[in-house]
Amino acid sequence: MKNKIKTVKPGSIAEEMGIEKGDCLLSINGVEIKDIIDYKFLISDEYVKIEIEKENREMWELEIEKEYDEELGVEFEETILDRPKNCHNKCIFCFIDQLPSGMRDTLYFKDDDSRLAFFQGNFVTLTNMTEGDIDRIIKYRISPINVSVHTTNPELRMKMLNNRFAGNIYERLKKLTENEIKINCQIVLCPGINDGIEFRKTVEDLYKLYPGIENVAVVPVGITKYRHGLFKLKQYDRISAGEQLHIAEELQSKYLMEIGSPFVRLSDEFYLISRRKIPNSKFYENYKQLEDGVGIVRLFRDNIDREITCLRKDIKGSFTFLTGDLAYDDVKAAADKISKENQDIVIYVKKIINNFFGNTITVAGLVTASDIVEQIQNDNLGKYVIIPECMFRKGYELSKSKGMVFLDDVTLTDLEKILKRKIFVCDYTGKDLIRIINENSEVK
C-alpha cells in the first residue's frame, strides 16, 4: 500500500504516538502525501496533524507538537512513495534504447524524476516537467538537483532529445538558480553533434549562472552493438577526445583565475582515450563528480599509493582482480605494486571484454556476469576473486532484490557458485582493496 511504514525508530515521536510498522500515512495538515517530498516539507512544522490508517483499517488522527524540522521517526517501504516519473524524450544517445531484449523489465524504464535527482543523485532533463513542477522544486527547496543539459542551443537540444519542448532549458536553469536552487550539470558529448564550438558555448552559458550552477561534468556517449535503426553516432578516438580536452582546458584556466575552480571537468574516459595525463587530486576538489566517472582514476591511484604501506608483510595469498578494458592498465599497475611490496601475494588481473554490449563499451561498470563466466571460468583464479562494486546495479529498481545483481540479472551468489570462489566486492576507488587482501590472506 502507498506510504506504508516499514520501520518505526525506537524512542521516536511515532513510537510514542502508537504508530506501528505496516501503518500507512495518509495526510499531514490535511494535505495528501503523494511522495517523500511532500512528507519532508509538511512534517517540518512545529505543530502537525497527521492521518494514519492502521493495518486493521482503523483511521487515526493525531495532533503532534514537536521541534521544527524534527521528523516522526519512520521509514517508508518505498523511497519516493510512488513509481518514478517516466521520461518522454527520445534522446539520440539514450543508453536504454541500446539495450538488448530479454533483460529485466526495470532496466528498460526511463526515469526523469526530480525527486530521484534529489534523493539518489539521478540526472533529469527538466523536459518532462510542467511549470508547476518547477515551482514545486523551488517551494520545497529541492536542492541540489542534477540536470542533464547536453547543450544550451535550443534547436540543437530539441533535436538531441527529440522533444519539441526541450529548448527552454536555459530559462528553466536561470529560474531555478535565481531562486537559490543549486544545480550540478551533466553533458553527454556526441562527436560532431554537440562538441567543439557547441560544447564551448554550452559551458560558457552555464558558467554565467555560477554559483547557482556549481559544476559541470562531461561524459562521452556510450555506443553498444544494439544501435540498429537508431541515430548514427560516432565514438571518440585519440584525436577527437584530445580536442575536447583542449577546449575544456582553455576554459578551466580562465575559471581557475576567476573563481578558483575549474567549473567544468571531463570524465576519465577522455584522458584515457586521448592518452593524456590525469590531473592531480587538487583539480577534482573533493571528488564531487565520481558518479560521472570524473576523477576515479586519480583517486584510485592515490588510494593505492597511500594504503600500500598498510599491506602486511607476514601474509601470503592469491587473488584475481576483475576489471573492464578501460581501467585495465591502472588495475594491473596496482596489482604489480602490491606484489612488489609482498611477493607472497599473487595477483591475477583479468580484463573482461564486453561481448554482451559490444567491445565499444570499455568501462567496468557495464561488465556482465555472463562475460565474466565466458572469459575466466576455466582460468587459474587463485583462492579469491575481487570485483569493483560499480559492476552491480543499485537503486530504486532493485529495492526488493535478493542481493547484488549484475546487469544481466545474475546475482553475486550465482557467480560465486559458478566460479566456485568466494568473491569480495571492493569499493571502485580502491580504498578498501588492501584491507580485503590483509583480512583474507594466510599468515606465513
Judgement on whether residues 205 and 116 belong to the same structural domain of the protein: yes
Dist CA 255 CA 394 (whole Å):
35
H/E stretch holding 5 reads strand 5-8
DSSP-assigned beta bridge partners for residue 183: 145, 213
Query: CATH code at 21?
Result: 2.30.42.10
- The dihedrals phi and psi of 41, each to the nearest 5 degrees, come to -75, -50
How many CB atoms within 10 Å of residue 63?
Answer: 9
Residue 200 lies in a domain: yes
What value, to the nearest 5°, has the Cα angle with vertex 69 and ends 63 and 75? 75
CA distances from 79 to 34, 38, 113, 342 (A): 12, 12, 13, 45
Indicate whether 33 and 101 sit together in one domain. Answer: no
Query: In terms of domains, do 166 and 254 share one?
Result: yes
In a domain, 379, yes or no: yes
Whether residues 368 and 346 share a domain: the answer is yes
- Based on the domain organization, do 135 and 189 belong to the same domain? yes
The number of domains in the chain is: 3
Q: How many other CB atoms are there within 10 angstroms of residue 3's CB atom?
A: 24
pTM, two decimal places: 0.82
**103 and 236 share a domain?**
yes
Neighbour-count burial of 375, counting CB atoms closer than 10 A to its CB (0-12 exposed, 13-18 middle, 19+ buried): middle
CB 5 within 8 A of CB 22: yes
**Domain contains 85:** no
CB 123 within 8 A of CB 91: no
| Spatial CA neighbour of 24 closest among 49, 60, 48, 71 | 60
How far apart (Å, rounded) are the C-alpha atoms in residues 253 and 295?
Answer: 18
Domain boundary among 260, 294, 328: 294
Regarding whether 335 and 222 lie in a shared domain, the answer is: no
Same domain, 106 and 136: yes
| 87, part of any domain | no
Domain that holds residue 418: 300-443
At position 358, the amino acid (one-letter code) is: G
Contacts of 390 (CB under 8 A, 6+ apart): 364, 365, 428
Within a domain: residue 393? yes
Residue 84 lies in a domain: no
The backbone torsions φ and ψ at residue 186, rounded to the nearest 5 degrees and listed phi first, read: -130, 140
Query: Per-residue confidence of the chain (444 residues) as pLDDT tens digits?
Result: 568 888 899 989 999 999 999 999 989 899 888 777 778 778 888 889 999 999 889 999 999 998 877 888 888 876 544 455 556 778 888 887 888 877 666 665 555 444 544 445 577 888 877 888 888 889 888 888 899 999 999 999 999 999 998 999 999 999 999 999 999 999 999 999 999 999 999 999 999 999 999 999 999 999 999 998 899 999 999 999 999 999 999 999 999 999 999 999 999 999 999 999 999 999 999 899 998 999 999 999 999 999 999 999 999 999 999 999 999 999 999 999 999 999 999 999 999 999 999 999 999 999 999 999 999 999 999 999 999 999 987 543 444 445 688 988 899 999 999 999 999 999 989 999 999 999 999 998
* Whether the Cβ atoms of residue 430 and residue 300 lie closer than 8 Å to each other: yes
For residue 290, tell me if it sits in a domain: yes
**Any domain includes 82:** no
Q: What sign has the CA pseudo-torsion 351, 357, 361, 364?
A: negative
255 and 118 together in one domain = yes
- Clarify whether residues 277 and 376 are in a common domain: no
